[in-house]
Amino acid sequence: MLLALDAGNTNVAIGVYEGSELRMAWRLRTDRDQTADEWGIKLRQLFTLGGLRLEDVDGMIIASVVPPVDVPLAEMCRRYFDRSPMFVSIDLDLGPHATSSLHLVCARSALEISRIRTVAELLAEELRAVARR
């Protein structure tokens, strides 16, 4: 299963995918002061309530526009899932319109990562909803 985290300024959107199927999705408040253990406890509780097992996660990806949560989220992944997450980076030059990690997720998924494609579509949908506000 793939654990995908989208850390935005207001919420952290969390999705668990088995193949291309979204098994569970949650939203937690973005807390810049939350520790790795606090994130881990919350995710463990959500997994338990959703009937999922932490040890079934074999991949993790994080897209974040909130640098203060990056280190605690990465440490939570290592400590509670025994995996290092892949961080979506904007370091790749995708042209003048690619100004966020969302664009990189969309571009990368369109090219080769089928499980991320669904995440990118959800992120794009969320971006459109924010733009309409």
Task: Provide the CATH number for the domain around residue 103.
Answer: 3.30.420.40
Structure tokens at 108: 């990368």
Q: Which of 75, 97, 94 is nearest to 84 (CA)?
A: 75
| % of residues, the chain, pLDDT over 90 | 50
User: Does 128 or 80 have the greater pLDDT score?
Assistant: 80
How far apart are alpha carbons 51 and 47 in whole angstroms?
6
Tokens of 59: 């991949």
Read off the pTM.
0.70
pLDDT tens across 9-26, in order? 899 999 998 887 889 999
Number of compact structural domains in the chain: 1
Range of the domain at 120: 2-132
User: Which tens digit of pLDDT belongs to each residue from 63-92?
Assistant: 888 999 999 999 999 999 999 998 876 554
Is there a contact between 17 and 46 (Cβ–Cβ < 8 Å)?
Answer: no
Residue bearing tokens 């579509």: 121
Which helix (DSSP H) or strand (DSSP E) does residue 27 occupy?
A: strand 21-29
pLDDT category of residue 123 using cuts at 50, 70 and 90: confident
